[in-house]
Amino acid sequence: MPSRLFLLLLCGLGLTAAEVRLAGPLATRTSIAHPGAAVRLTATVTVPADAPTDLGCAVWVADRHGRWWQRQLADRLAPGTHSLTADLDGAAPLAPQSHGATWNAGVISELRLAGLTFWTTQVGGNLQVELGLSPLKTPSTGRERLIVTGLDRPDVATRQRWQVRAVPEPWPTDPWDPEAFGLGLAISGPGKEVLASAGFHDQPMRAWDRGDREEVQPWGRAAFAVRTRATVPGRWEASLNARWSSGATASAELPPLTASGTAGDGISRVDATDPRFFSSDGQLVWPIGPNIHTVWDLRGVERTGSRLTPDRGSLSWRAWFDRLQASGATACEIWLSSWNLALEWRGDWWPWRGLGRISEERAWQLDRVLELAEERGIRINLVVNNHGQASQRTDREWDNNPANRANGGWLDDAAQWFDDPRALAAQERSRRHLVARYADSPAILGWKLWSEVNLTELGYLSGQGDARARELMRSWHAKACARWAALDPWRHPTTTHWAGNYHSPDRAVAALPGLGYVCIDAYHGPDGPPVWSWLCRSTNDPASSARDGLAYLAKPILVTEYGGNWDAAPEALLEVALAVGPWVALVSGHAGTPMLWWHEWIDQGARFGQYRAIARFLAGEDLRGPRRRCIVIDAGRRIWGRAWAGPGSMLGHLIDEDWGRVGGPGQERPPGQVILGEGVAAGALQLAWWDADTGTELSRTRIEHAGGRLTVTAPAFRRHLAFKAWR
């Protein structure tokens, strides 16, 4: 027999036979495909008389990405024929190799290969090896139970996360399927406060800084975790409840939780008194910051000359958040994209497992990102789906979508993602995990269902006048928003986003009661209206006769992409967009600053100062009130002026249009008259002028107004100028 390895597949028997030449003193491996279910590995090993005398043997298994577990079967295989058996059902665990993921039924369901490995310190020798796999049925014991393995300390501050971890017995084969196993936490506190949270599969991770990237590796015992936060001080009673697909249930009483501190949960929601804005625990939330979307941006490198930021996982996000916090920024947008923090994608790409099975590495990193953001007071517009994932035309990622039939999926057309029953079930499974794991975090501003949904395949068809596509777009959003609302006990708002500008949103979708706020682009070409015009018209510019903005929706309006055109603009005009964008949004009634897309250009040019300026100006201000609105300020020829005004106060902004259209340092504007209003009531008021580039107060005066037209004198300025007037 030739001294080489050959495999003979015995069809239909799950059996391989091979002659194996030992590679001693290196290990020798034989393998067979594993079906991803609990099975019994059987092996017949024939050891010849001249085989090495120290021949050992172990069973091994590996998942789709080569993660390895093994267990020794024999430390000495003497000459002769040996029948070996290894039950891979979790009862006799296999030990992880070079990682820390413990053995359980969920691990078994991920396996793709199994086999034997042989070792010897001697050289040479052949073996005859026959491998087989057969189903292994483990009868139910009828003794389902929960073992609490981790419990945060029972005394916490209100708004602080509190987590419980428990191991179910038996362990579910598919731990990411909430129908296979569900864990819930119910807690009740003072004043009849009752909270309920769902659990999620939680694999602990170990992470370290390699320098060029962050390594994340499973390390520790997997369990199911449940998270909550006490919303009022006092004593809370808590219990866990579990349910298996068999119908079996189990419960566990937990020690009482004692919370101290002020009432509240820190979650931002659409304000109840003025639905044009967000608030949290009664305080205005006006998000300030850029669209970071992902750690790096290839289009930014191509269009602005920025350098690509190394992707170092959560370490990179920590650096981003540190710079945002130092600049006074309080928000950004992040995408769960395949090149960033997507929890599901192609199973043949590390670290994903395909649809329905969460990448625990990415899930851990998203956990860390949200924790870092919360520590720094950063709120994240979290994008669940980016348009390319369901697009065959624009930024197309459909070619790599695991639902695509070409990748082993079941869909032939990306538009089917919005109505195919299996696709809808996959979306439900995904959102249930996102809510269970992350919804308690105040770092989430809201759930953004799509970036630029009109660029998906369904969006394209809808834009072409396809009536069925338009109705499907509306019904999909209505149902998705309803499901997020039903699942999320913390009541984060949901949104979706349209490419283009304020003309682009599908009005039927934007008006849906379940859609809490509206996200749009405000990209603009060099030949069209200037950036301040695009931004002001997005709501309802009082100087425009068209009245075609989105203020009529009475919802928060957020511009989440802008900065020149989609392919940027000359740097001088990007500087203008960055400088005036926050101020124009403020005086136009936007729900936060427009999020400039070119985040690496901001970072590498040390341009975060504009966020500090608007943050300083807004400290202590409240924009809410049903009578507050945008008004035109007459400041003379070629000066654009608007103010956000209401009873007793006014926040205003003036732009030198000559500078705004070309950028650069601008020419100094001499002092000039500014009309703040025509029918202003008599009485004393304060007027303060602010440097809009630095956020510093330049002067403050007291005015005794006799009533009627109120005319004041603006100081000399370059570029743009801000002011406050109040009773």
Q: Are 414 and 400 in contact (CB under 8 A)?
A: no
The pLDDT, as a whole number, for residue 92 is 81
Among residues 101, 135, 169, the one where a domain terminates is 135
Q: Are residues 158 and 243 in the same domain?
A: yes
Least confident of 28-32, 137-141, 379-383, 387-391: 137-141
State the CATH number of the domain containing residue 519. Answer: 3.20.20.80
Dump pLDDT digits (tens) for 521-541: 999 887 888 999 999 999 999
User: Which amino acid makes up residue 468?
Assistant: R
Q: What is the pLDDT of residue 139?
A: 55
Task: Report helix, strand or coil for 103.
Answer: coil
Concatenating the DSSP letter of every residue in 439-497 gives TT-TTEEEEE--BSGGGSHHHHHHHTT-HHHHHHHHHHHHHHHHHHHHH-TT---EEEE
In a domain, 283, yes or no: no
Residue 493 has pLDDT above 90, yes or no: yes
Q: Is 273 within a domain? A: no
Q: For residue 478, is it left (φ>0), alpha (ψ between -120 and 50) or beta?
A: alpha
pLDDT at residue 134, rounded to an integer: 87
pLDDT confidence bin for 545, thresholds 50/70/90:
confident
Q: What is the CATH number of the domain that holds 679?
A: 2.60.40
Give the number of other CB atoms < 10 A from CB of residue 550. Answer: 21
CATH number where 227 lies: 2.60.40.10
> Quick one: 444 and 584 in the same domain?
yes
The mean per-residue pLDDT over the stretch 469-484 comes to 98
Give me the domain span that covers residue 125: 6-135
Is the pLDDT reported for residue 5 higher than 60?
no
Comparing C-alpha atoms, which of 477, 488, 388 is closest to residue 435? Answer: 488
Q: 390 is written with which tokens?
A: 């369901």
Residue 155: per-residue pLDDT: 95
Q: What is the mean pLDDT of residues 490-504?
A: 97
Number of other residues whose CB lies within 10 A of the CB of residue 471: 12
pLDDT at 142 > cutoff 80: no
For residues 44 and 153, state if they share a domain: no
Query: Is 122 a domain residue?
Result: yes
| Residue 12, pLDDT score | 31
Q: Cα 582 vs. chain centroid, distance in angstroms?
A: 24
Task: Report the pLDDT value the prediction gives residue 525, as an integer from 0 to 100.
Answer: 83
Rounded distance between C-alpha atoms, residue 717 and residue 326, angstroms = 27
Q: Identify the pLDDT of residue 8.
A: 29
Which range has the worst mean pLDDT, 51-65, 114-128, 135-149?
Answer: 135-149
Q: Note the pLDDT of residue 10.
A: 30
**265 assigned to some structural domain:** no
- Asked which of 553, 582, 603 is the last residue of a domain, the reply is 603
> Strands 672-680 and 181-188: what pairing?
unpaired
Mean pLDDT calculated for residue range 670-698: 96
Whether 93 maps to a domain, the answer reads yes
Say yes or no to pLDDT of 325 above 90.
yes
CB-based contact 711:703 (threshold 8 Å)? no
471: tokens are: 């109705």
* Same-domain check for residues 587 and 696: no
- pLDDT at residue 451 in the model: 98
**pLDDT value, residue 547:** 73
Q: DSSP secondary-structure letter at 94?
A: P
Same domain, 116 and 186: no
Tell me the pLDDT band of 2, cut-offs 50, 70 and 90: very low
Which pLDDT value is given to residue 706?
94
In a domain, 277, yes or no: no
> Among the listed ranges 56-65, 183-192, 520-529, 692-701, which one has the minimum average pLDDT value?
520-529
Q: Are 47 and 39 in contact (CB under 8 A)?
A: no
Q: Which residues contact 159 (CB under 8 A, 6 or more apart)?
A: 229, 230, 231, 261, 264, 265, 266, 442
Q: Which of 57, 52, 7 is nearest to 33 (CA)?
A: 7
Using one digit for the tens of pLDDT, what is the confidence trace for 177-222?
999 999 999 999 998 888 999 999 999 999 999 999 999 999 999 9
pLDDT in tens, 252-283: 999 999 999 999 999 999 999 999 999 999 99
pTM: 0.94
* pLDDT at site 528: 80
The secondary structure of 112-167 as a DSSP string is EEEEEEEE-SS---EEEEEEEEEE------S--EEEEEEE--SEEETT-EEEEEEE
Q: At 38, which CATH number?
A: 2.60.120.380
Q: Would the pLDDT of 9 be above 70?
A: no
Identify the pLDDT of residue 140. Answer: 57
Give percent above pLDDT 90 in the chain: 90
Q: Is residue 274 part of a domain?
A: no
Does 522 fall in a domain? yes
**Are 448 and 558 in the same domain?**
yes
Q: Do the strands 639-646 and 649-656 form a parallel or antiparallel pair, or are they unpaired?
A: antiparallel
Contact at 8 Å (CB) between 211 and 224? no
Residues 447, 593 within the same domain: yes
Is 60 in the same domain as 129?
A: yes
pLDDT for 7 equals 32
Does 592 share its domain with 673? no
Q: Which of 534, 509, 512 is nearest to 523 (CA)?
A: 534
Q: Are residues 219 and 103 in the same domain?
A: no
Q: Where does a domain end: 112, 135, 158? A: 135
Is the pLDDT confidence value at 136 over 80?
A: no
Name the percent of the chain lying above pLDDT 70: 97
Number of domain units in the chain = 4
Average pLDDT for the chain: 94
- Whether residues 113 and 150 share a domain: the answer is no
Q: How confident is the model at residue 11 (pLDDT cuts 50, 70, 90)?
A: very low
**Is 277 in contact with 603 (CB distance < 8 Å)?**
no
Measure the CA–CA gap between 696 and 264, rounded to whole angstroms: 33
Which range, 92-96, 640-644, 676-680, is most confident?
Answer: 640-644
For strand 80-88 and strand 39-47, is the pairing parallel, antiparallel, or unpaired?
antiparallel
336 and 470: one domain? yes
Which pLDDT band, with edges at 50, 70 and 90, does 143 fall under?
Answer: confident
Q: Please write the tens of the pLDDT for every residue from 328-380.
A: 999 999 999 999 999 999 999 999 999 999 999 999 999 999 999 999 999 99
H or E segment and range at residue 284: strand 283-285
Which DSSP helix (H) or strand (E) runs through 10?
strand 6-10
